[in-house]
Structure 1
Amino acid sequence: MTVIDDTNVFLPDLWSTHATFSPEKDALICGDERRSWGDFDKNMSRIAHALINRGIGRGDKVAVLVSNNIEAVEIIYGVVRAGACVVPLSGLLTAEQLAVLIDDCDASFLIATESYLDRITEIRGKLPKIAPENFVAADFTADGWLDFESFLGHAADTMPTVTYRLEDDFNIIYSSGTTGLPKGIVQTHRARQHWSYSNALELRFHRNAVAMTTTSLYSNGTWLMMLPILFVGGTLVIMPEFSPKALLETAVAHKVTHTFMVPTQFIVTLDHPEFDNYDLSQLETVLCAGSPLRPDTKAEVLKRLTPNLTELYGCSEGFGSMCNPDMHAVKPGSVGKPVLGFDLKIFDDDGNELPRDEVGEICGYGAGMMKEYYKRDDLTEAITVRDRHGRSFLRSGDIGRIDQDGYLYIMDRKKDMIISGGFNIFPADIEAIIGEHPDVLDVTVIGVPHEKWGETPLALVIGRDGIEDTTEIVKWANDRLAKSQRISGAELRVEFPRNALGKVVKRELRDPYWT
């Protein structure tokens, strides 16, 4: 009996198909450098074969520490093409933090760019799981490192014979660590395939699209652009480093149709003095994620940047909702409905599903969910809650509600909620009001100790040029806030600590007041 192959098309196979039928088309652009789909595919294959020749494949973890450039994309997905699991690590981490995560993920191979050299040199003795010959220099030469051309050697540039499985580990992405030590989020080929096609459909990617990254390549949020654009065979433009002027110039020069930005990037870009000189009418989709846009910023984006704004609410563990352009006027303040292939529910602290319009923890389920926290069964169990059908929903740590029409509203982070005199206060509500003040560029609100009320809201403000005192801002805000929401004061800051996606790390801001 003849049995036809299982025709599931895995991402490494799909990329090869794009290269076969559109070899001369631009796949990657970074600055003055370009890479055609044909060359991109060959380079991924050479990297894959070089790893396979050294015994790296299914089950092996490859730590990748790279800058924002074309070679970084080839390395990341070359590892995947070899059948191994890629572990991209943050450039914001210290040497000691990198040592912890490289050991935690059990990496047996490491590829790094020069910007990481000093840190890896400092901790190399703490990485016994990586053999001396398995440290590869992506763009430099140094003693004790295998240079990249020697690593590649005479590796073939044809598609390797690797059998992929949906349940195989595609990558481990470490959480941003806003609430403590980062956790290794394991995502499979199944999850990454779903991530690719669900976002391609939701965000209207197409083969002629040009997507631009504005954030670091190791960040899971950046993959919201990378995976869908490579899925449809379009062109990816990589920003080496973000600045408002560079973003505007790059978007115009390459006729960018799709991009992803975090709220702080919107704020500083709209504030750029030359913003109105750039024609951005070619933008088909601008995605915002990382944290919610303040209402005043969102209004400015829709008015001055593009009406084609999509807001994504989600978590790296793997679920989310989108507020698409047609929803903004219909449901202001909402973060939309579940992304294609996901379900969202609200649960109370005891794991009971709540009815519509009741406030509780936002939980999600779907094909793009993580497999587990790597080697952390306790944390995997803690994040899991089961619905009445026995399905494993993941807890978000966010408080919200779903209205009668199925639209999701975020109240705040569960751990950021302020309890003052018995009242539950959501910082996001206060931030929305203070953000409307003309002297406020950005604001975040935290809870600080109070002798009578237990804790009280304090506003931390990044002001526009010339502001030296916050007395007027405090009075202005408290005149507009409910009595229970009123802030005890406001302090000026030059910047806020942020994670890779621009989300304010409130834990770092709170700690000095509570210790």
Structure 2
Amino acid sequence: MSIDRPWLAQYPAGVPEQIDVDEFSSVVAVLETAISQYRDRPAFSSFGKVLTYGDIDELSRQFAAYLLCELKLKRGDRVAIMMPNCLQNPVAIFGTLRAGLTVVNTNPMYTARELRHQLVDSGAKVLVVVDNFGHTAEKVLADTQVEKVITTGLGDMLPPVKGAIINFVLRHVKKMVPDYRIGGSIRFRDALKAGAAHEMPQVGISHEDIAFLQYTGGTTGVAKGAMLSHRNMVANMQQASAWVSANLQPGKEVIITALPLYHIFALTANCLVFMKFGGLNHLITNPRDMPGFVKELNGVRFTAITGVNTLFNGLLNTPGFEDLDFSGLRLTLGGGMAVQRSVAERWKKVTGCTLVEAYGLTETAPAACINPIDLAEYNGSIGLPIPSTDAAIRDEAGTFVAPGEVGELCIRGPQVMEGYWQRPQETAEVLDAGGWLRTGDMAKMDEKGFFYIVDRKKDMILVSGFNVYPNEVEDVIASMPGVLEVAAIGAPDEASGEVVKLVVVRKDADLTAEQIKAYARENLTGYKRPKIIEFRDELPKTNVGKILRRELRDEPAKA
């Protein structure tokens, strides 16, 4: 059905209503166009080492040739990439895509349990992993379909002396590389060398091919792979590019990439959008080290930066940040979680650049709404639907509601995923026959077409921009012998927006909060671990026994 689009009248000058998704046949076509236009321009930098677009061309060809000619992978096979931001990452991503294969982005901080699920669910045949996390992979490989593991040290693509020093310090001084042994594995540099002995086969890649399996949680607590086709990714790159193009100068952009490339936000907004403009992605490997992060920014005349609210807040509260050179900064894009007004206002004061809030989901590759880039100041909105995108607010019956009324935010556009990998039922629950994606977020639209998030329909907890699903946390903690019942909810936190709070009914009266936290450390990634633990005699429930998380969440407000 047709809908009103009041937001079109608010579009910045030069932003089209529709984008041309057919301009590029695949993400690979975008890459190869950038290579032909910007071959000698810097594409990625890390620890002082720069790879040009020409370098990315050569190295990704070698990696693709290794996958196809040495490992004999077939079109559509999955390759899991488990590493933080480092030079090997874009080489592996683009090499995998050029080979006609699907990238399975894998959080390197996963516990063995989480990694096992993702590798098994995706059916990945190859795992590329940084040494720091090899010990986790070693624990689960026997349970998966992985046939080959490619390992690498963080310093392996740096100049020999510097790289050796970094690898030595990480392993022997900082003790950040636990020992591991994976039989039959090959080093990343050796894989490239083996690939260089072959010509990269020409592989036909179409819009319909799956470029990425991007894992995201769900109401069941089981991580699902959002199937993002080449069309989805090209569409979102075209949409975001059209939105920000007036602020960018081809061949002259330097974007700070502190968000991990395994996260859909940085993958599209930084890696793909800025690739189209011949930009340089300055990779930050460990943004949690704020003093080190600020030190790295010193001397870099960057023009753009993306992040989540906690990252911007952390930078603003780190000594030396205010003294950096912001004269080139023209674009600051915030997403992944709500941007706080106090942070946005302070960012503008310190940098002179408006912190522009955007909204998206893994399922929308990710951008759906973005505020005008020429916004004078923070407005509390998630922005306007971007070109070729429809957004609507619907009630429980699926009826479109009037401006100002609250309902579920639904999105339709060429960036909406193909569905969840091998999960037709879960796909049908969020994607209807008309192409509308139910986001699970409660929102409203004003008369001008700006959208505002009001609340979350699901019980999701948002920790520093990462989704935490209560069922998953509860499942893990409930497996402890001393736990009778458990509920996980979000508790407000100044640093991360929210933290995980557990309300526990004990089976063993001697069970302590520290024992629960220790168990969580073994089984949950850092951001999913409970920070607050409260013990009770019983939990509030419905008449059929369902735990009322909302009642637990609302209690402080009633007090």
Q: Structure 1-normalised TM-score? A: 0.77
Greater shift, 265-274 or 249-258, is seen at 249-258
3-state secondary structure, aligned to 1:221: helix
- Written as runs of structure 1 = structure 2, the 5 A alignment for 1:123-272 is 123-127=140-144, 129-131=145-147, 134-139=148-153, 143-152=183-192, 153-155=194-196, 160-175=201-216, 180-204=221-245, 205=248, 206-223=250-267, 224-242=269-287, 243-272=289-318
Distance 1:165 1:461, change over 3 A: closer
How big is each residue's C-alpha offset from its partner over 1:139-183, in whole Å with a ceiling of 9 and x where there is no partner?
Answer: 489543122344331535866411110000001011156972221
Q: CA deviation at 1:506?
A: 10
Aligned residue number for residue 58 of structure 2: 42
Aligned residue number for residue 488 of structure 1: none
Q: CA deviation at 1:259?
A: 1.2
Q: 1:353 aligns with which of 400, 403, 425?
A: 400
- Written as runs of structure 1 = structure 2, the 5 A alignment for 1:266-345 is 266-318=312-364, 319-327=367-375, 329=377, 332-345=379-392
Aligned residue number for residue 482 of structure 1: none
**Alpha-carbon separation, structure 2, partners of 1:367 and 1:61:** 23
Aligned residue number for residue 82 of structure 1: 99
How big is each residue's C-alpha offset from its partner over 1:23-51, in whole Å with a ceiling of 9 and x where there is no partner?
Answer: 32211100111111111110001111111
Aligned residue number for residue 24 of structure 1: 40
3-state secondary structure, aligned to 1:98: helix
Distance 1:229 1:377, change over 3 A: same
1:105 aligns with 2:122: yes
Distance 1:334 1:92, change over 3 A: same
Is the CA contact (8 Å cut-off) linking 2:25 and 2:231 kept in structure 1?
no
Is the CA contact (8 Å cut-off) linking 2:420 and 2:426 kept in structure 1?
yes
Distance 1:364 1:210, change over 3 A: same
> 1:320 corresponds to which letter in structure 2?
A
**Alpha-carbon separation, structure 2, partners of 1:256 and 1:233:** 14
3-state secondary structure, aligned to 2:447: coil
Is the CA contact (8 Å cut-off) linking 2:216 and 2:362 kept in structure 1?
yes
3-state secondary structure, aligned to 2:436: strand
Is the CA contact (8 Å cut-off) linking 1:188 and 1:371 kept in structure 2?
yes
Is the CA contact (8 Å cut-off) linking 1:229 and 1:235 kept in structure 2?
yes
Q: CA deviation at 1:102?
A: 0.3
Aligned residue number for residue 399 of structure 1: 442
Distance 1:507 1:24, change over 3 A: same
3-state secondary structure, aligned to 1:415: coil
**Alpha-carbon separation, structure 2, partners of 1:512 and 1:335:** 37
Q: 1:374 aligns with which of 418, 421, 424?
A: 421
Distance 1:158 1:17, change over 3 A: farther
**Alpha-carbon separation, structure 1, partners of 2:445 and 2:453:** 9
Distance 1:262 1:114, change over 3 A: same
**Alpha-carbon separation, structure 1, partners of 2:188 and 2:229:** 28
Is the CA contact (8 Å cut-off) linking 2:24 and 2:30 kept in structure 1?
no
Distance 1:203 1:91, change over 3 A: same
How big is each residue's C-alpha offset from its partner over 1:364-417, in whole Å with a ceiling of 9 and x where there is no partner?
Answer: 01111111110111111111245xxxx211111111111111110110211359
Is the CA contact (8 Å cut-off) linking 1:45 and 1:156 kept in structure 2?
no
Structure 2 residue runs of 5 or longer lacking an equivalent are 1-21, 157-180, 463-469, 471-486, 496-519, 540-546, 548-559
**Alpha-carbon separation, structure 1, partners of 2:490 and 2:121:** 37
RMSD over aligned Cα, in angstroms?
A: 3.3
Is the CA contact (8 Å cut-off) linking 2:25 and 2:206 kept in structure 1?
no
Greater shift, 140-149 or 41-50, is seen at 140-149
Q: CA deviation at 1:462?
A: 4.6
> 1:75 corresponds to which letter in structure 2?
A
Question: Which of the pair has the greater relative contact order for Cα pairs under 8 Å at 6+ separation?
Answer: 2
Is the CA contact (8 Å cut-off) linking 1:58 and 1:168 kept in structure 2?
no
Q: 1:408 aligns with which of 446, 451, 454?
A: 451
Structure 1 residue runs of 5 or longer lacking an equivalent are 1-5, 418-426, 429-445, 447-454, 464-496
Is the CA contact (8 Å cut-off) linking 2:24 and 2:234 kept in structure 1?
no
Distance 1:505 1:123, change over 3 A: closer
**Alpha-carbon separation, structure 2, partners of 1:320 and 1:415:** 19
Q: Structure 2-normalised TM-score? A: 0.71
How big is each residue's C-alpha offset from its partner over 1:266-306, in whole Å with a ceiling of 9 and x where there is no partner?
Answer: 11211123332222121110110111112222221222233
3-state secondary structure, aligned to 1:227: helix
Distance 1:238 1:179, change over 3 A: farther
How big is each residue's C-alpha offset from its partner over 1:227-256, in whole Å with a ceiling of 9 and x where there is no partner?
Answer: 111122221110111033344343442211
**Alpha-carbon separation, structure 1, partners of 2:292 and 2:458:** 36
